[in-house]
Amino acid sequence: MADEPSHEFTEGVYGWITHTDIASTDPAATARWCETVLGWTIRPPFEGPKGSYQLFTYADTGGGGIRAVEPLEAPGSTPFVHVRDAQAAFDGALAAGAEAIQPPTRVMEGVTTALVRAPGGVVIGLSGP
């Protein structure tokens, strides 16, 4: 469908945090606040694999999405690192001692994400083709 979000990855920013996933108890209020206070550009929400998701940008190479918290999840944010290949990065993270949280999953055209818990307990997202 033409209205579905899609993404083409930017060369030269691999290893950068280029997406931040924000989980909120009131995503619409969070989006309005970020737009007003931080000057972020907020896009209309769309239905993603886990419900409504609202993309935002704050730079040519940085942005993220705002969504509702999941059951038993506290409000917060997760950084996603831009990788060349989500599956290869996920496999490499596990081999280096990370714990799998979410295996590579296609979330929209051109974007596959995965979540790992790095040594020390920090959750890191991986995002790539």
| pLDDT beyond 50 at 2 | no
Which CATH number covers residue 40? Answer: 3.30.1900.10
Mean pLDDT of 90-115: 94
Q: How many domains does the chain have?
A: 2
Are 54 and 94 members of one domain?
no
pLDDT tens-place string over residues 65-93:
999 999 999 999 999 999 999 999 999 99
Inside any domain, residue 94: yes
Residue 93 or residue 62, greater confidence = 93
Task: Single out the residue of 50, 77, 57 nearest to residue 10, CA to CA.
Answer: 57
- Give yes or no for residue 42 having a pLDDT over 70: yes
Evaluate whether residue 116 is within a structural domain: yes
Kindly state whether residue 108 falls inside one of the protein's structural domains: yes
* DSSP code string of the chain: -TTS-B--PPTT-TTSEEEEEEEESSHHHHHHHIIIII--EEPPPEEETTEEEEEEEEETTEEEEEEEPPTTPPSEEEEEEE-S-HHHHHHHHHHTT-EEEEEEEEEEBTEEEEEEE-TTS-EEEEEE-
Residue 4 above 80 pLDDT? no
Domain shared by 37 and 65, yes or no = yes
* Stated pTM of the model: 0.81
* pLDDT value for 108: 80
**Enclosing domain of residue 70:** 17-74
Q: Are 128 and 19 in contact (CB under 8 A)?
A: no
Does residue 6 fall inside a structural domain? Answer: no
Q: 17: which residues sit within 8 A by CB, 6+ positions away? A: 62, 79, 80, 81, 82
The whole-number pLDDT of residue 49 equals 75
9 pLDDT higher than 70: no
Task: Please report the pLDDT score of residue 59 as a whole number.
Answer: 85
